[in-house]
Chains A and B, each alone.
Chain A
Amino acid sequence: MYIKLSNGKVYDPVHGINGEQRDIYIRDGQITRKPSSNTKIDKVYDLNGKIIMAGAIDIHTHIGGGKVNIARMMLPEDHQADLVSRTELTRSGCGNAAPSTLTTGYRYAEMGYTACFEPAMLPSNARQSHMEMADTPMVDKGAYAMLGSDDFFLRMLSSKKDQAAISDYVGWTINASKAMGIKVVNPGGISAFKFNQRQLDLDEQNSHYGVSPREILLSLIRAVTELGIPHPLHVHGCNLGVPGNVETTLDTIKAVEGMRMHMTHVQFHSYGTEGDKKFSSGAAEIAEAINKNPNVSVDVGQILFNQTVTASGDSLHQYAGHWHAHPKKWVIMDIECDAGCGVVPFKYRDKNFVNALQWAIGLELFLLVEDPWRIFLTTDHPNGAPFTSYPHLIRLLMDKSFRNDMLSTINKEAAKTSTLGSIDREYSLYEIAIMTRAAPARSLGLKSRGHLGSGAIADITVYTEQKNKEKMFSTPDYVFKDGELIVKNGKIVKVVNGGTHILKPEFDKGIEKSLKRYFDDFQTVSLGNYKMHDDEIIEDGRGKVIVQPCM
C-alpha cells in the first residue's frame, strides 16, 4: 500500500532539505523512493504549503519508573484539577505535571512526538518502568539505566577493579534492564547522601567508598565507549541547582578529556554567584565551553512558570530543595542501595528573582549555543515544566518580540541582570527540526528515525505554518506513526502502542559469577529474577522490542 504526501514543504536536516517542496511516499510503514509511474497510489494527502518534519523525539522526559509513580501518588490535587474523560478511542486519565501513562502518550502524539526516552530507570526498578512505558501508547519508548551510585559499582571502583570488568558490569546492566543507554546522576552523590554527606564536589571523596565523582564519570564514559553504546554517557552532573555550580560544570567538561558526553538539564548547572543576591547566570561561560568542545552535547531543562513537580534520582539535592516544596510535601528515599529518589512539588513563579533568572538562563543557553545538533529541546519533564509546554518554549525561541514581551513581565531585577534582551537570535524551522528530530535521533543512534529519507520509519508530523508558533506546534495537522495516521488536526484518530528501543551490547558473561555472589549476599531478589526478558516487554503483542545496533 502506497501513501503519498504531496507537495509539502519538507524540513529534513539529515539530508540538508530546508523547506523544499517535495513529495513523500510511504510503503508498509517506511518512507520509500518515488515508485514507478504506473504504481497505484492508494491514498494521497494534498499538503500544499504545509510543513513536513519527521516525528519529534524527546530525549529526556520522566515518563516511567518509581519516582513518577510517587509523584502521581503524592499529588492528588494535580489529578483532580486536570481530568481527561474517555472518548470512543482513548481512555480516561488525569494529571498535568505527572499525568497518567495513557494520557502522557496521547498528549505526546497530539503534539507530534513519536518517541520519548525515560532518562532515569533504576535497574532494580526496570520492570516497573517498562510496564509503565508499555502503558504509554502512541509513542516509541526507551530508557537509560542509572548507574554510578550503586553499591556493586562503587565496590568495584574502590577496590580498583580493572576497566574491563566495569565495562562488563555496565553491559550486563543494559542487557538486564533493557536499556538504551547509561545515565549517571550526581556521580556517587546519591550514595554519599546516605553516609551523611550533604554535598559532593567533582573531586570530593565519597566518605564510605573513597571514590570521587570524577573517577566514576571517567570509568562510566570509558565503559560506554568500549561497549559501543551509541548515546554518549547521559550525565546529570554534581551540584545541581547550587549557586556557583558553573565552575563544577566547566570542570566536568574539562574532566572528560575530549570523550563524548551528554550533559542533561544543563540549565540547572549554569548558576554563578555574582550580584547582590549571590545568584547569577553562568550561561555565557557554559555556552562558550559547549561551543568549544564538539564532544559535548546538552539538553537544557528549561523551566516555565507554573506548578509542577520535580522528580529526580538526585536525593542529595532534592533533599536540599525540599524546603521550597509547594505544596508542602516531599519524598526522599533509597531504592535497593541501587540509587535513590527525591520527589518535591514545586511552583516556579515569574515574580521570584531566582525562578525568573532560571527561566532566562535556560533561554540564554538555547540562544548562545551555536550548534543546534548538540543542544536538545527539553524541560526535563516534569522538573522544569510539563512536556505540554514545549510549543510555548518553541515560540519563545522562534519569536524574539514574544520573548522580549515575556521578559518584561518577569521579576524586574532578574530581567535587568540577564543578557537575554540583547540576544537577537531567532531559531528557524530548520533549526527546530534539528534540535527536536534529527539531533536526538543521531545522538541516540536511531538510524531510521528523525529523518525523511528513503528507508526511514514513517514517523511524520505535518504542521500548518502560522505566525504564532505555539499554536502551530501544539496542533499538528497530521501525525503518522509507522506509516499509520494517528492524529488529525491535533486529535487522536487511531491508537497504536509503539515499541521499545533497547540495546544488546556484547560483554563477558563471566561477570555474572561475581554478581551472583553479590546478589545472594546482599540483594532482596535473586539474580535470575532481577534480569528482564524481551517477552516481558512484548507482553502478548501489546509491546514491541526494537533492538538498535551498537557501534
Chain B
Amino acid sequence: MSTLVFSLKSKPTFTLDMSSITPSVLEGLTLAKIKKLKLVYGKETVTVDSLFNVKGKYNDSIVIENSCNKLICVGKGLSKGTITVNGDVGDLLGQSMTKGSIQVNGNAGSWIGNKMSGGRIDILGNAGDFIGAGLPGDAFGMNKGLINIHGNAGDRVGDRMRRGIIIISGSAGDFCGSRMHAGTIIARSKVGKYPGSGMRRGTIILDRKPAHIAATFKSCGILKMQFLRLFFTQLAAMDKEFETFNKLGPTAHRYSGDLARNGKGELLILKSKTK
C-alpha cells in the first residue's frame, strides 16, 4: 500500500507555506484535486503540482521528499496521521498540532511544535531556537505532546511551555526552559547558559552541570528522587529508543528556582560531582 508522496521538483526561492498539506485536509480528495490545491508561495499563491511531483494514494500518512528549509508550517494543526519529511524543514513545524506524528530525517528550523497540544515530533538532525515555545504575545507555548530531537537544539528550548516533554539528545543552547510554566525538558548532553531562567514550575533534567546557573536557583542537595524512577521507567516503556533511560537516575542534584518568579521549578542534574 503506497502512501501519498510529495517530492519537491527544485529548491524553492521563497518560503512555501505547507499548512494545507495535512491528512485531514487531503482525506477524500482525488490525486488530481490534490495537485490543484493552492499553496502560499512567497507573496503568491501557486498550485501543488507546480512545485511538487505527487504520487501514491491517501492512507493517513504523507511523505515529503527532497525537502528543504524553505518549507514552513509543515504539519500545522495536524490532527491525525503521520508526516515524514526526508530532508530539511523550515520554521513552525507542527504548529498547533493536536494529534498524530511528524518525523524529520534532516534538520529543522525554529519554533518547532509551537503551541502544540498533542502528538509527537521526531527530528533526526538538529533544530533551531524556540522549540515548543509560544510566539511573542502568546501566554503559553507547547501544551501537551512530545518533541524528540536527536541532534542539537538552539536557544530557549521550551520557552513558556505549559505541559509535555521535550528530549534533546545533542547539546541545547542558552536559556533552555526559560519562562517555563510547567512540563519537562530532558537535555542529555551539555546545555548553554542559564537554564530555567524565569521558570515558574516544571522540571529540567540535565545530564551534567551547566557552566552558568542563575543566582536565583538554590541547591537542595543530592537527592534520590522517586519521581525520576517512575518517569524514566515510563519513558523507557514508551519506545525502544528510550530504553537507555532505564540506566539513568534516580539520584540527582536538585536546584529549585527560579526564585525570582516563585521557585516552584527545578533543575535536576544527573551526573553531579559536587558534594
Contacts and interface: CB of A to CB of B under 8 A. Distances in A.
Contacts of A329: 139
Interface residues of B, number: 5
Contacts of A80: 135
B118 to A, nearest CB: 18
A76 B135 contact: yes
A328 B137 CA distance: 12
A74 B138 CA distance: 8
Interface in B114-153: 135-139
In this complex, the member of A73, A75, A77, A329 whose beta carbon has the largest number of chain B beta carbons within 10 angstroms is A77
B139 A73 contact: no
In this complex, the member of B135, B137, B138 whose beta carbon has the largest number of chain A beta carbons within 10 angstroms is B137
A76 B139 contact: no
A327 B139 contact: yes
A327 B137 CA distance: 11
Nearest to A77: B138
Interface string B249-261: 0000000000000
A73 B136 CA distance: 10
Contact of A73 (B135, B137, B138): B137
Interface in A328-369: 328-329
B247 to A, nearest CB: 41
Contacts of B137: 73-77
B135 A328 contact: no
B139 A328 contact: yes
A328 B135 CA distance: 16
Contacts of A75: 137
A74 B135 CA distance: 12
A327 B138 CA distance: 9
Contacts of A77: 137-138
A80 B19 CA distance: 14
Contacts of A328: 139
Nearest to A72: B137
Nearest to B135: A76
A519 B112 CA distance: 52
A73 B137 CA distance: 7
A86 to B, nearest CB: 9
Nearest to B40: A85
Nearest to B136: A76
Contacts of B138: 76-77
A395 B138 CA distance: 35
A307 to B, nearest CB: 14
A76 B139 CA distance: 10
Interface string A504-538: 00000000000000000000000000000000000
A327 B136 CA distance: 15
A77 B138 CA distance: 7
Interface in A43-101: 73-77, 80
Contacts of B135: 76, 80
A329 B138 CA distance: 9
A75 B135 CA distance: 11
B86 to A, nearest CB: 29
Contacts of B136: 76
A550 B135 CA distance: 50
A451 B137 CA distance: 45
Nearest to B95: A80
A77 B136 CA distance: 10
Contacts of B139: 327-329
A529 B8 CA distance: 59
13 contacts: A73-B137, A74-B137, A75-B137, A76-B135, A76-B136, A76-B137, A76-B138, A77-B137, A77-B138, A80-B135, A327-B139, A328-B139, A329-B139
Q: Which 8 A-B pairs have the closest CB atoms?
A: A76-B137, A329-B139, A327-B139, A328-B139, A76-B135, A76-B138, A76-B136, A74-B137
Given A75-B137, A77-B137, A80-B135, 6 more contacts: A76-B135, A76-B137, A76-B138, A77-B138, A328-B139, A329-B139
